[in-house]
Structure 1
């Protein structure tokens, strides 16, 4: 179902987050109950799953918000600058990759004469650009959506080292020693970041910060 209303968006985010939280909660409970000989594999599996839900929710929620803004059917001139940039992204890429005037004219005409046209945002791949969800990619996604990176600034090391690097080590078949307390704390931190990301999108939709001149 297309995300055309705030309620559609709020429901989509809530539904997507709840099953992820449930899986992480189950693994945290299993960690507490596991015997020593089974704990190592369970801890490494938990790190990998926590990362999967980290990347999965951020990209799913970001895509859902873009779809919501797309179906607002606003003119380019009515959108906040970040969404205008997204609408023009493919043109800007073509213009940046060539010295041919035709590509440059396409960009010029867009900003001179097409700003009053109805916007069409590439919401399906607007944030899901592939690659691991590092703090750098998270910042790109946040800026694309017109959100704030401030809540994540103190989490950069956690994201890049304790989460992403650990996940990559495990995914590449290398041995990694982790303990229950560290993995449990990591899971709690990631759940907090997912909630913070969801809250920003909910607020942006409710306050209409996707509109031009309505950016907090």
Structure 2
């Protein structure tokens, strides 16, 4: 292996780490900005799509599931019901948690939280988990991982495509008010 091959191998490994960082940061920020947008629109519970109504009561549900105190639990339950039938605007956390490892399962959760359909992304979950995240983790933890140039370029193209899809889908969600219930 010559100096040129060694340098190319190092650049490819660095490229995987950078590609992963770009992937995670882009998805996390884009989703968070969209959730901020939905919060800003102040949609009412009565017309909000289920995923956003759920986000608005998630903290209450978490509290409810942890308590053993019936009086407290009943109060939280009544608060949830009151919110669900009220005309008060949604308000929820816009924090997006990737766990510093944006794998297919966490990405699916982000897709669900933003109301973006997962159907076209699902075939790429293995790519996210294996070709991107697993490789990044191996490299970041000091393992020497030989990666072929063509394999890296294919992963790069696919990840950039996924990010473009997500950008377009989030923009479409915003422009079509998909945070609201669909009329029957």
How far did 1:113 drift?
5.0
Whether 2:29 is the aligned partner of 1:75: answer no
* Pick aligned residue for 1:120 from 63, 88, 91: 91
- CA RMSD, 1 decimal: 1.7
Q: TM-score, normalised by structure 2?
A: 0.92
Equivalences for residues 12-23 of structure 1 within 5 A:
none
Aligned to 1:88: 57
Q: Residue in 1 aligned with 2:119?
A: 150
Question: Quick check: 1:107 aligned with 2:77?
Answer: yes
In 2, Cα distance between equivalents of 1:48 and 1:185 = 15
Report if the CA contact (8 A) 1:88-1:107 is conserved. Answer: no
Structure of higher RCO (CA pairs closer than 8 Å, 6+ residues apart):
2
- Whether the 8 Å contact between 2:98 and 2:106 is mirrored in structure 1 is no
Change (3 A) 1:91 1:175: same
The unaligned stretches of length 5 or more in structure 2 are: none
TM score, norm. by length of structure 1: 0.79
What CA distance in whole angstroms lies between the structure 2 residues aligned with 1:113 and 1:47?
A: 45
The Cα of 1:158 is off from its aligned counterpart by 0.6
For structure 1, the 5+ residue unaligned runs are 1-33
Whether contact under 8 Å (2:138, 2:145) holds in the other structure is: yes
- SS at 1:71 equivalent: helix
Counterpart of 2:110? 141
Question: Deviation at 1:129?
Answer: 4.8
Q: How many residues align?
A: 180
In the TM superposition, what is the alpha-carbon distance from 1:74 to its structure 2 partner? 1.8
- Superimposed CA distance per residue, residues 93-118 of structure 1 (whole angstroms, 9 cap, x where no aligned partner): 01111222213421333223563112
How far apart, CA to CA, are the structure 1 residues paired with 2:180 and 2:115?
10
Deviations 1:25-61 (A, max 9, x none): xxxxxxxxx9323111101000000000110100000
Contact 1:151 1:196 in 2 (8 A): no
Shift of 1:75: 1.6
Matches within 5 A, 1:158-169: 158-169=127-138
How many angstroms apart in 2 are the aligned matches of 1:68 and 1:148? Answer: 18
Asked whether the equivalents of residues 63 and 128 of structure 1 are also in contact (C-alpha less than 8 Å), the reply is no
Determine if contact 1:133/1:164 at 8 Å carries over to the other structure.
yes
Match of 2:142 in 1: 173
